[in-house]
Structure 1
Amino acid sequence: MSREAPHAATPSRPLYRAEQVRELDKRTIAAGIEGFALMQRAAAAAWQSLKARWPEVRSLSVLCGGGNNGGDGHVLAALAAAEGVAVQRILLKPIEELSGDARRAADMATAAGVEAVAWHAELAFDGELLVDAMLGTGLGGEVRGEAREAIEAVNASGLPVMAIDIPSGLHADTGAILGTAVRACRTATFIGDKLGLHTGAAPEWAGEVDFRALGVEAEDNADLEPAAHLLEAGMISAWLPPRARSAHKGDFGHALVLGGAPGFGGAALLAAEACARLGVGKISLATAPEHVTASLVRRPEVMVHGVRGAGDLGELPQQADVVVVGPGLGQGSWGQGMLQSALAGDGPLVVDADALNLLATRFSGQYRDDWILTPHPGEAARLLDLSASDVQADRPAAALALQRRYGGVVVLKGAGSLVAGPEGLAVCPFGNPGMASGGMGDTLSGILGALVAQGLPLETAARLGVLVHALAADMAARQAGERGLLAGDLASCAQILVNPTTGQDDVAATR
């Protein structure tokens, strides 16, 4: 039943680690572009990005470090001054101690008449906007000394900040904060987009990420395999084309949700409703008997079965094209029986919530190629026998470790959700803080189950489901705000997203 890949390439942007971007930089210079010319390109791109975001800017404070990132700042300072902007150039390293292209850049700014002042703790920022060109992507350890003081002063200033290449103190590969980091409103990044700008703390600290390739075609370097790919909204139409006019419900699969232990029925209902809204042909729900009435009232289209234990399931798991197990499952005997029944089947699974906790405790050692696991950082930590802070310190590594240990596809939820599968790592740049409320993961499980039931390849279903889930949350937040956003708000928005022609006159074009 698995659907073949679409003819068009699935939209996504390659993401690289810092070491890979440095290699691209070296190759570009070796191909005939002088290093200082490349620095000038980067600074010009950053200046254009700054003006696009703050077109009325009249004064800047540019903080310049000692490496090439600082060099970008010096050149930007010269460009801004040439256009009549008042520039305060702040040095974290004296010009006489600079070398190479960074020294040429500093001398260029000096020749342009931009005065320089050494950083000190009592220094006041003259600019209405700050430019962070302090540390760049080469930082590996915790920020210390004057750089830390400067970063803390930047954040305490309350002024808007533009970061060049990456906010100082943010790890370019993991998105983790290295002690402290600049909180930027926008980050202009160059040559290759960085993995660490899109997960972990990055969505909050990097602000808007404006990628500028500077004329470098990173993908032409086939030996430099991207560390990940950034999911893009065009993936939805690529994988969900218009349905055939002769289609019937049997063409779109049968999903079964196992969940809702006594007293925990809401999670399973949310998963079942999301599954139905994503277009599955038939949706069954096996839940504790006391939740049957609520399910019939909320969503009568769902075929609900009250089960007192696994023995009441009968042939339900075998009849389904996918089993979603975990929402409201609990870790007691009822939940254990449901998970055992799911694991005994030979069809694909979506595993969430307490089903993941049971995998880490009572069902350890499981490995399958046909499941999607959807842990949040706490659940991921239990599955890896780590702490949640360990997981968050290197989310990409944790997602890949989970996939190697358990197989299938892993969705590591959180800001910049990650999807790890046989094809590699994908990052979702969408979503918002309103999703920090109960039931969001249950809704995601239902979305994933619907896509798997409809025949999408497992890894594609995981990537697409995470994308739709996040975009639906963004749509719902635009309608009513982030505070008070409920998991139940997402299903109807998700339906619109997978039916982008809904509302047009040509009904035959709807999906």
Structure 2
Amino acid sequence: MVTLQLPTQLYRAEQVRQGECLAAQIMQLEMYQLMERAGQAVFEVFRQQHPNATSLLICCGGGNNGGDGYIVARLARESGLAVTLWQLGLAGRLSGDAALARDAWLASGGKILQPQSEVPASVEVIVDALLGTGLKGKVREDNAELISLINRSKRPVIAVDVPSGLCADTGVALGTVIQAQSTVTFIGIKQGLCTGQAANYCGEVYFAGLGVDEAFQQQILPSVNRISQAEVYRCLPRRDRTAHKGDHGRVLCAGGDLGMAGAIRLAAEACARSGAGLTAVITQPDNVLSIVTVRPEIMVQGWQDKAHEISQRLEWADVIVIGPGLGQSDWSKALLFHFDATEKKMVVDADGLNLLALSPDYKNNRIMTPHPGEAARLLGTTVASVEADRFAAVQLLQQKFGGVVVLKGAGTLIYDGRQCWVCTAGNPGMATGGMGDVLSGIIGALAGQGLSLAEAARVGVWIHSTAADLCARKGERGVLASDLFPYIRQLVNPR
């Protein structure tokens, strides 16, 4: 069975390669039977997406991914479709199950051709079975030329297991990458399909367990877990009928230097909309009127240099959110200094992170929410290095700074020092000012309502991204951070 409903467990490519053999042994199946089932799954997706297509091109490589392609070709030909099969490299060098699939294709009357300079005009759909999950280094020139030809053809592409050229473990492009309309992946979801650059190449991701996925999951521990709605709502506490505002967290949001009142206002309102019992703000005095005028439910205090005012609010608060609009002025540094010694739960974002990069420390009472640029500054490296392996980067951040780390971006990652989660919700409409401030407020509110740091981080990320998806139903371009508020309130109240 092929489905768009993806499992929550994700794996490294090597885990799947080892685990599929073990699962096949448990189920008393030959590996060639799994190859047959994989080809059948790809053909099923082809039929679902292109029911009227009569001609397709199968591009095969030299490994088992190519063997899957031969199975698809044979099934399509047996169904009366016109099939062209291109083999990159010598077909005679195929071995093992891939060679069996090649021989079955030839026995059915199929022909093996070398890649041409152009995709035949009659071809309506292309199946990418070139490289698979074993790719480690940069794509070789001959593969890159064929991938570029496929992409230039503008035909819809179905990728087998992983788009050729994409690293199955990191989601990074290893040179030229197939731009697929859909990807059919098998047995275990590869973690690289869910973060980083993968969103640009995978299209819709289909999962086919090939009848061995349950046995596989029983034998192999996932490397990453995908955040699910069911998990989110298990974490959200039910409210007593006799509850009062003091039961649901006192959250203090600190930031908003001159000219940046909007950031701290967005964080504070997101906090209130996410269910915090009481929300307060410490900011520049010039910002007070603009915030209380539009949101009188938020307690706003202007601050200059009186330490006792900070101490009073700090004693009052259960959770501190610091960073939105904070800036890096003397005022900013003085404000951050007053929170340095607290052991209360903290959410640190934006310039709170940039100042932390200048004076690193290790604390387990905070959630950090860097985007790749902030992560690069915290690690003393480049954005390219962070994005080259987001899983490694989020672990390095946690090892260096402690607590829970949220590495934002396409496929946001959360790591608490033991376990890693990925959020597959979200869309490009979120690439606009203020979105990170809203996320910080949501997470702060959830921490105030009794969720652990790890729970608050992953529940907050999911609510934020899912709210953006609901908002983007009217179009991704032009979404504002404040547009998320009605959807946030909807999502923190499970039916």
TM range (shorter): over 0.9
State the match for 2:375 in structure 1.
Answer: 380
State the match for 1:409 in structure 2.
Answer: 404
Counterparts of 2:89 and 2:349 in 1: how far apart (Å)?
Answer: 50
Q: Does 1:298 align with 2:290?
A: no
Counterparts of 1:168 and 1:41 in 2: how far apart (Å)?
Answer: 20
Structure 1 residues 68 and 121: alpha-carbon distance in aligned structure 2, compared to 1, 3 A threshold: same
Counterparts of 1:220 and 1:207 in 2: how far apart (Å)?
Answer: 25
Q: Deviations over 1:307-356 (max 9, x none)?
A: 12362423101211110000000011111122112222110100000010
Structure 1 residues 148 and 491: alpha-carbon distance in aligned structure 2, compared to 1, 3 A threshold: same
* Residue among 436, 439, 461 paired with 1:441: 436
Q: Deviations over 1:419-445 (max 9, x none)?
A: 011341101101000111111100000
Query: Which range moved further: 119-128 or 100-109?
Result: 119-128
State the match for 2:341 in structure 1.
Answer: 344
Instruction: Report the AA paired with residue 148 of structure 1.
Output: A
Structure 1 residues 217 and 200: alpha-carbon distance in aligned structure 2, compared to 1, 3 A threshold: same
* Alignment check: 8 A CA contact 1:288 1:307 kept: yes
SS at match of 1:315: helix
Counterparts of 1:458 and 1:345 in 2: how far apart (Å)?
Answer: 15
* Residue among 11, 14, 39 paired with 1:19: 14
State the match for 2:384 in structure 1.
Answer: 389
State the match for 2:146 in structure 1.
Answer: 150
Counterparts of 2:315 and 2:216 in 1: how far apart (Å)?
Answer: 47
Counterparts of 1:212 and 1:12 in 2: how far apart (Å)?
Answer: 10
State the match for 1:65 in structure 2.
Answer: 61
Q: Does 1:261 align with 2:257?
A: yes
Query: Which range moved further: 374-383 or 79-88?
Result: 79-88
Q: Structure 1 length normalisation: TM-score?
A: 0.93
* Residue among 316, 321, 325 paired with 2:322: 325
* Alignment check: 8 A CA contact 2:58 2:127 kept: yes
Deviation at 1:238, TM superposition (A): 1.7
Counterparts of 1:309 and 1:268 in 2: how far apart (Å)?
Answer: 19
Deviation at 1:125, TM superposition (A): 5.7
* Alignment check: 8 A CA contact 2:118 2:149 kept: no
SS at match of 1:389: helix
RMSD: 1.6
Counterparts of 1:255 and 1:218 in 2: how far apart (Å)?
Answer: 43
For these two proteins, the number of residue pairs brought into alignment is 488
Counterparts of 1:132 and 1:310 in 2: how far apart (Å)?
Answer: 65
SS at match of 2:178: coil
* Alignment check: 8 A CA contact 2:252 2:280 kept: yes
Alignment of 1:31-430 (within 5 A): 31=26, 32-124=28-120, 126-217=122-213, 224-240=220-236, 242-309=238-305, 311=307, 312-361=309-358, 363-364=359-360, 366-430=361-425
Counterparts of 2:345 and 2:7 in 1: how far apart (Å)?
Answer: 26
Counterparts of 2:7 and 2:451 in 1: how far apart (Å)?
Answer: 18
Alignment of 1:429-468 (within 5 A): 429-468=424-463
Deviation at 1:90, TM superposition (A): 1.2
Instruction: Report the AA paired with residue 92 of structure 2.
Output: E
* Residue among 478, 485, 492 paired with 1:484: 478
Instruction: Report the AA paired with residue 280 of structure 2.
Output: S
Q: Deviations over 1:240-278 (max 9, x none)?
A: 254222221111011000010111111000000000000
* Alignment check: 8 A CA contact 1:236 1:498 kept: no
Counterparts of 1:293 and 1:58 in 2: how far apart (Å)?
Answer: 66
Instruction: Report the AA paired with residue 497 of structure 1.
Output: L
* Alignment check: 8 A CA contact 1:192 1:218 kept: no
Instruction: Report the AA paired with residue 56 of structure 1.
Output: N
Counterparts of 1:125 and 1:398 in 2: how far apart (Å)?
Answer: 45
Deviation at 1:239, TM superposition (A): 2.0
Which sections of structure 1, spanning at least 5 residues, go unmatched?
1-10, 502-511
Counterparts of 2:306 and 2:466 in 1: how far apart (Å)?
Answer: 36
* Alignment check: 8 A CA contact 2:251 2:276 kept: yes
Counterparts of 1:322 and 1:245 in 2: how far apart (Å)?
Answer: 24
Query: Which range moved further: 125-134 or 214-223?
Result: 214-223
SS at match of 2:296: coil
* Alignment check: 8 A CA contact 2:172 2:389 kept: yes
Deviation at 1:236, TM superposition (A): 3.0
Fraction of identical pairs, as percent: 48
Query: Which range moved further: 420-429 or 185-194?
Result: 420-429
Instruction: Report the AA paired with residue 425 of structure 1.
Output: C
Q: Deviations over 1:113-136 (max 9, x none)?
A: 233211133453642111100000
Counterparts of 2:18 and 2:290 in 1: how far apart (Å)?
Answer: 58
Query: Which range moved further: 78-87 or 444-453?
Result: 78-87
Deviation at 1:381, TM superposition (A): 0.5
Q: Structure 2 length normalisation: TM-score?
A: 0.95
Deviation at 1:47, TM superposition (A): 1.4
SS at match of 1:411: strand
Q: Deviations over 1:462-485 (max 9, x none)?
A: 01100000000001111x311111
Query: Which range moved further: 107-116 or 78-87?
Result: 107-116
Query: Which range moved further: 236-245 or 260-269?
Result: 236-245
Structure 1 residues 102 and 310: alpha-carbon distance in aligned structure 2, compared to 1, 3 A threshold: farther
State the match for 1:3 in structure 2.
Answer: none
Counterparts of 2:62 and 2:306 in 1: how far apart (Å)?
Answer: 65
SS at match of 2:133: helix
State the match for 1:507 in structure 2.
Answer: none
SS at match of 2:8: strand
Instruction: Report the AA paired with residue 302 of structure 2.
Output: G
Query: Which range moved further: 381-390 or 336-345?
Result: 336-345
Instruction: Report the AA paired with residue 75 of structure 2.
Output: L
Q: Does 1:494 align with 2:485?
A: no
SS at match of 1:342: coil
Counterparts of 2:144 and 2:11 in 1: how far apart (Å)?
Answer: 26
SS at match of 2:159: strand
Counterparts of 1:219 and 1:384 in 2: how far apart (Å)?
Answer: 39
SS at match of 1:87: strand
Deviation at 1:211, TM superposition (A): 1.4
